[in-house]
Structure 1
Amino acid sequence: MHIDIAGLPADRVVFATSPLAELGLALHALSEPGHHPGLHGWATATSAALEPDLADRMLEAEFLWRNTFSDVFMPFAGVRGGDGRTGATLAEDLDLLDRLDDERFVGAALEFTCASHYEIDAPSPLKDAGTRGRALDLAAARGPQQLDFTRRLLADPASVRGWVRRLFEDCDQAFFADTWRRVSVQMAADARHKTELLRRKGLADAMGSVSPAVTLDESGARISVDKLSEARTTATDPEVGQGLTLVPTSFGWPHLMVLHAPGWRPVIHYPVQLPNLPVPASVELLQLRMEALAHPMRMRLCRNLARSPYTTGELADAHGVTSPEVSRHLTVLKKAGLVTTRRRGRYVLHQLDLTVVARLGSDFLEGVLR
């Protein structure tokens, strides 16, 4: 994944915290605790303390943060005519979210239905019947709550936007305000440290301090992020405004995320600390599983399956291959005990077993979740 920065002034590379971005990852950790072995205690205690009504509303909207990290959590990067600055408080970030136009908000909220079109400027589902039909069909695979949410969002964006804001505000009151006070000190210190490193030693050292997966090329014109996906964006689009924002997260490991949607300023969302993960099991079991993962297509499928359950058809569509080809690869992964399968109505959903994958070691787990 590449970010073109040729001609970008040094003062347009900014390290900054974002309460809303961190709330998104906190919600993700509650939905997918297997992604975050160091947060099991927090996730268990927080989930147990949730009021039933809030827990139900979070479940209704969880596709905003479970299998994709919706760009609605980084509105500062998408406000047309904005300056790209994050909010100092959650309320300020939510005010920025309110400034997104309906087409941009709906497109970001429904990213899980159009992941294969993320890098292109696809038609809005509010205006294009084909995109709208696709969104509804893929929402149905997630269950009746997600389908109902999608229908309401497409029919009445303003009402759902108000509902989403109230949900985030209630999450803040229930658990996030206390959590943010605890983690924001470390994140702010990290942002200040990297800002000073950028000023004193330059962009290459600053990018290296973010993650070994983030590098600046020799010409200083391109930042590369080592991920199991291919994409390209620019930090110097004159229609968007110059700028690259790097946002630290306490809840994010092992995810290293790049916002690269057309018409949005690029953002690198990086973790500030790493927990320890289990070591591999027996050599024989490791060999069986590594042989199953030797094929590059199966590695790419694992990247999807690590985030959320997928149907065979969704995987085929996302990777531009046939459903029978996907089925053959899934069979190999299942025989190795790496993938589980369950049925929801007429849909069969497949998902990577993160407990098993964690035993392969942190390098592989970080690679597929990055």
Structure 2
Amino acid sequence: MSVTIDIAGLPTERISFAPSPLAELCMALHALSQPAHHPGLASWTNATAAALDPGLADRLLEGDFMWRSSFSDIFMPFAGIPGGTGLPAPVLTEELDALDRMDDERFVMAALEHCWLALYNEGGGPSPLKDPAARAKALETAAARGPRQLDFSIRLLDDTAGVRVWLRRLLEDCDEAFFHETWKRIGPQQAADARHKTEVLRHKGLPAVLKEVSSALSVDEGLRTITADKMVNGSATATDPRIGPGLVFIPTHFGWPHLLVLHAPGWRPVVHYPLGSPELASAPGSVELLQRRMEALAHPMRMSLCRSLARAPYTTSELATVYGITAPEVSRHLAVLKKAGLLQTRRQGRYVQHQLDLTAVARIGSDFIEGILR
């Protein structure tokens, strides 16, 4: 599973690194609504939530599905305006102005992403603003998600202009309440990171800068396709003539463990990458490796073998004797564990001994959490 970005023919100068205050506000709101995803931000989330005006906190609940379980693309309006620069603005007010310039149909489809995800990512279909059947489907799907989603979706479709005014005022109030001071602290760090990665791209090339951005990102040898290792399938192109060529990388302090890839058709692709993530110290394995490890450990006999291999090194014949199975059967099970990177093997004289790699096994839990949240 992965999200791919077609960059064939894209000039290097059309690959940009820049901070986005609006995108970061989205991640801050997500951290407030899902503090369990971000234990490293506990001090900030606890203090900010405690200081929130109750009226503002209630208003945030009305639209939290736009940042709680998914991340609405309306927080990256620069990527969805045909003929625009394709770059975020340096201040929140200018990014909100860009959001105001987005046409109603694009705004509505992005805002309804929480209940319209499959159709949205496939590139459209009829607009629920104009097509009765599309409207009915949108409201049916929203109702399945919950009463608040349904109420919001009805408001959005019946009074798009009013919802746009409501959303801007909500985000401006968040800025006044807590985000302005937060952005003053982290904005310069993000700008510095963007400048650094721009220099790495210019002097060392795309593979080198992707390695710095995230271990989950890679590019093929021909520099035609960027792949993001995620538990979702999707694709985008950075050379869509409808929106203009370009690919933007945006840093975030609030994002880890999420690596977001905007890949909706008709939008410029955007990679929203976390700064200061633990993966810099210990890179998580790929989704494929994680799946292989979990499948390897799921077999009852291999689970039993692991009980012994966790305590001491064993040879194949010793394990065969302990568990009453043949040596070839043991070898087959050990081969699966070894392919999954869960065994350490060493030769001791005439014998080959195997032992479970406890560090690799211990990583599975955190790798799984990072994988599903990435």
Pairing 1:368–2:367 present: no
Q: CA deviation at 1:294?
A: 6.2
> 1:150 is matched with which residue: 138, 150, 153?
153
In structure 2, relative to structure 1, the CA distance for the partners of 1:143 and 1:359 (3 Å cut) is: farther
In structure 2, relative to structure 1, the CA distance for the partners of 1:292 and 1:36 (3 Å cut) is: farther
Structure 2 partner of 1:236: 239
Q: CA deviation at 1:134?
A: 2.3
Secondary structure of 2:273 counterpart: strand
Structure 2 partner of 1:207: 210
Structure 1 partner of 2:132: 129
Structure 1 partner of 2:255: 252
User: Deviation digits for residues 100-140 of structure 1, max 9, x if unmatched?
Assistant: 00000000001011112232122221122233222212222
Structure 1 partner of 2:224: 221
User: Deviation digits for residues 194-236 of structure 1, max 9, x if unmatched?
Assistant: 0010011011111111101111100011111111111111101
User: Deviation digits for residues 33-86 of structure 1, max 9, x if unmatched?
Assistant: 111111111111111111111001100010111111000000000012211021
Pairing 1:172–2:178 present: no
Structure 1 partner of 2:144: 141
Partners of 2:296 and 2:44 in 1: CA distance: 34
Amino-acid identity (%)? 62
Q: CA deviation at 1:143?
A: 3.1
Q: Is the 8 A contact 1:77 1:266 kept in 2?
A: yes
Pairing 1:119–2:114 present: no
Partners of 1:227 and 1:166 in 2: CA distance: 34
Structure 2 partner of 1:82: 84
Partners of 2:104 and 2:202 in 1: CA distance: 38
Q: Is the 8 A contact 2:109 2:120 kept in 1?
A: no
User: Deviation digits for residues 308-346 of structure 1, max 9, x if unmatched?
Assistant: xxxxxxxxxxxxxxxxxxxxxxxxxxxxxxxxxxxxxxx
Unaligned runs of 5+ in 1: 278-288, 296-357
Partners of 1:275 and 1:222 in 2: CA distance: 26
Letter in structure 2 aligned against 1:110: L
Letter in structure 2 aligned against 1:191: A
Partners of 1:142 and 1:178 in 2: CA distance: 34
The within-5 A match list for 1:61-76 is 61-76=63-78
Partners of 1:44 and 1:293 in 2: CA distance: 38
Q: CA deviation at 1:290?
A: 4.9
User: Deviation digits for residues 181-205 of structure 1, max 9, x if unmatched?
Assistant: 1111221111111001001101111
TM-score (norm 1): 0.77
Q: Is the 8 A contact 1:24 1:65 kept in 2?
A: yes
Pairing 1:26–2:56 present: no
Secondary structure of 2:122 counterpart: coil
Structure 1 partner of 2:352: none
Q: Is the 8 A contact 1:80 1:100 kept in 2?
A: no
Q: Is the 8 A contact 2:6 2:225 kept in 1?
A: yes
Secondary structure of 1:118 counterpart: helix
Unaligned runs of 5+ in 2: 282-292, 300-361
RMSD of aligned C-alpha atoms? 2.1
Secondary structure of 2:121 counterpart: coil
How many residue pairs are counted as aligned between the two chains? 297
Q: Is the 8 A contact 1:25 1:252 kept in 2?
A: yes
Secondary structure of 2:371 counterpart: helix
Letter in structure 1 aligned against 2:367: D
Letter in structure 1 aligned against 2:370: E
TM-score (norm 2): 0.76
User: Deviation digits for residues 164-196 of structure 1, max 9, x if unmatched?
Assistant: 000000000000001111111221111111001
Q: CA deviation at 1:145?
A: 2.6
Secondary structure of 1:110 counterpart: helix
Pairing 1:93–2:95 present: yes
Letter in structure 2 aligned against 1:11: E
Secondary structure of 2:261 counterpart: strand
Letter in structure 1 aligned against 2:100: D
Please identify the structure whose Cα radius of gyration is greater: 2
In structure 2, relative to structure 1, the CA distance for the partners of 1:162 and 1:294 (3 Å cut) is: farther
Partners of 1:95 and 1:3 in 2: CA distance: 28
Most deviating of 132-141 and 63-72: 132-141
Partners of 1:241 and 1:76 in 2: CA distance: 12
Structure 2 partner of 1:40: 42
